[in-house]
Every structure is written in C-alpha cells, then in structure tokens.
Amino acid sequence: MHSDNIQTSKSIQQETGRTFHLATRLLPERIRHPTYVMYAFFRVADEVVDQTDGPPPTVQHEQLEVIREAALGNVDPAETDHEAVMAAFQDLAERHDISEETINVFIDAMEMDIAQARYETFEDLREYMGGSAVAVGHMMTEVMDPPQKAEALPHATALAEAFQLSNFLRDVREDIHDYGRVYLPQETLDRHGVTEEQLADAEVDDAFRAVMQEELARTDELYREGVAGIRYLPEDCQFGVLLAAVLYADHHRLIRDRGYDVLTETPELTRRRRLWLLARTWWHWRRNGDPEATFYTVSAVSERGPGETPTDAHGHGQPAWRG
C-alpha cells in the first residue's frame, strides 16, 4: 500500500476515533496499517449517512453505490471523492482476500441507516449490526489471519457487536437529536414504559435507568463472549484487541457513574483515563498473559454479572436480558 494513502487513512482515524486509534497503535505494523485503511473506509461510508444537514436519500444512495463499486474494484478510486482511502482499500481487499459478500453486507448496512431509524427487537438491531459492526470484525479477522479462524470468528462477531452497542448506549442523546435515530430496541423501551419523547426531552427516571441497565447487561454478556476468543488471535495482536475491549467497555463505568444519564450529556473517556487504562492493562497483561483474566481485572465488565447465567458464543442459555 502506498505510504501516502496509509497516512491519509491514519489521519482520519486520529481525528474521528481516538479510542480505537490508541488500541490500533498497539497492533503490529502488518496489522496496524491495514487497520488504518479499514477504519478510514468505514468512516467514508458512514459519513454519507451521518450528516445532520446531508443530501437527500437518493443522493446518499448514489454516493454509497460509488463507494461500493470502488471497494469492489469496479471503479477507479480517482473517480471518487476519497481517492487515497479507496485506493488503499482496494489494495487491502486484494491482498487479504476480503470477500465481495463482506463488502456488500457492510455497504448494505449503511444503506439501512438511510431508510430505517428504529428497531423493534434486539434481533432486528442485530441484523443491522451484522453489516455495520460484524462485517468490520470479520474484515479485521481476515487481516489478522489467525490459525484457528473458524474458532475465532464467533467471538469476533460478539466483540464487534459489543463495541457497537457500547457506542449506541453512549450516544443515545446524539443519535436522537442529530440524526433522528433510536438504537435502543423498541421492545425494551415499551417494556419499561419509556417513550421517544422522553428520550428527546432528556427525562432520566427509574424507567429509563431500567432500560439502560437491561441493555448494558446484554452488552456486558457480549463482551464476555468476545473476549473469550482473543486467545485464538496471533499473539502479537492480542494486546491491541484486548485494550480496545477495555477502552470501549469503560463507557459502561461512565454511564453507571452518571446514574445512567446519557440524555443530558454524552459520556466521553478523557485522554488521561485512556492512558491510565493502557498502563494498567499492560501491567496485568505482562504479569499473566491471559486476555480474559486481564480484562476482568481491569475492565468495567465483571466476570459474571449478578443474576446472569453463562452463555456460549451463540447466545444460548438464559442471561437476565433474554427474558
């Protein structure tokens, strides 16, 4: 990959994904550079649909189709608005044999964001995440190329879902005010009697706290499933992925410390907190070399939450949130 294209991609990650960028820097160069490129590609597509004053849906669809065709190698990157990023991604997809299906599933999820802003059930939301987050996790797994890929992929799926759900839970205020979207499952809101008007008016009461507690418990369980698979990754990739899990899950601590109020302000990790978590994670990792043990020692996710029963990577069992 051309160094200028990589630098452009790296700059996009530095500017828009500080948490993920810190974890990416801990990956070996053979994975770090492709990760910059993938992140930049994801952002280019995501920004088509995440503009508060963006173009009409027909134009957004057209823009995404250009990105799709460029990613698939059917369009010259010079014909796009993001030549450096798309050229780097084309090269990456060819080098690492990223499937057309994975690329299509990701772009399809971005298309969904244009037309769909509500999700009735968690399974409906999970279908969306199958493109927006899980496809990303699968691309990362392809690039890392673990020797036990079949064993690693279900855990990569769970971890990708956990990362995205943490973002959804952190960004409830921004999503509804800036984009008119609600990523909390409607069935969860209805079960606790929480309305969209309440979300928009930033009314944090016991019912809303119960919604957040339920969704945080669901997400915690996915972290447990995801982190259990880090051991399948190449050794030089494990710490970077572990740190990403620790950092993303720390938003749960912030949310709980705020009494589950994500409606009046969006909780954000400070630079000092991120660096402290990096140092603490590294120290425990050096002591035991066990990703799961380190995660439960350092992160905001307990090894087993109260009232929950174990589940496997496919979601079997009866944790509290699967009532």
Residue 322 lies in a domain: no
Provide the pLDDT for residue 49. Answer: 86
Residue 58 exposed, middle or buried by CB count within 10 Å (0-12, 13-18, 19+): exposed
Tell me the residue type at 111. Answer: E
* Residue 191 confidence (pLDDT) above 80: yes
> Average of pLDDT values for 215-238?
97
Question: What 8-state DSSP symbol labels residue 321?
Answer: T
Best mean pLDDT range from 23-37, 92-106, 134-148, 218-232: 218-232
Other CB atoms within a 10 A radius of the CB of residue 11 amount to 13
Other CB atoms within a 10 A radius of the CB of residue 305 amount to 16
d(CA 143, CA 150): 14
Same domain, 15 and 1: yes
Q: Which helix (H) or strand (E) holds 183?
A: none
Same domain, 110 and 131: no
Same domain, 108 and 122: no
Tokens in use for 278? 């990096």
Residue 317 lies in a domain: no
CA 89 to chain centre: 19
In a 3-state reduction of DSSP, which class is residue 25?
coil
In a 3-state reduction of DSSP, which class is residue 322?
coil
d(CA 110, CA 248): 22
Which residue from 212, 211, 246 is spatially nearest to 226, judged by alpha carbons?
246
Residue 308 lies in a domain: no
Interaxial angle between packed helices 134-144 and 149-170, expressed in degrees from 0 to 180 and rounded to the nearest 10:
140
pLDDT tier at 38, thresholds 50, 70, 90? confident
Long-range Cβ contact pairs of 72-75 (< 8 A, separation 24 or more): 72/100, 72/103, 72/104
d(CA 98, CA 87): 15
Residue 175 exposed, middle or buried by CB count within 10 Å (0-12, 13-18, 19+): buried
* Single pTM value for the model: 0.87
Same domain, 176 and 264: yes
Supply the range of the domain harboring residue 62.
1-114
Number of domains observed in the structure of the chain: 2
Signed CA dihedral, 318, 320, 321, 323: sign only: positive
d(CA 150, CA 34): 21
- The mean-pLDDT minimum among 1-10, 41-50, 141-150, 217-226 falls in 1-10
Provide the pLDDT for residue 46. Answer: 87
Domain boundary among 95, 114, 133: 114
Same domain, 76 and 175: no
Residue 233 lies in a domain: yes
* Residue 4 confidence (pLDDT) above 70: no
- For the segment 160-181, what is each residue's pLDDT rounded down to a tens digit? 999 999 999 999 999 999 989 9
Mean residue pLDDT across the chain: 88
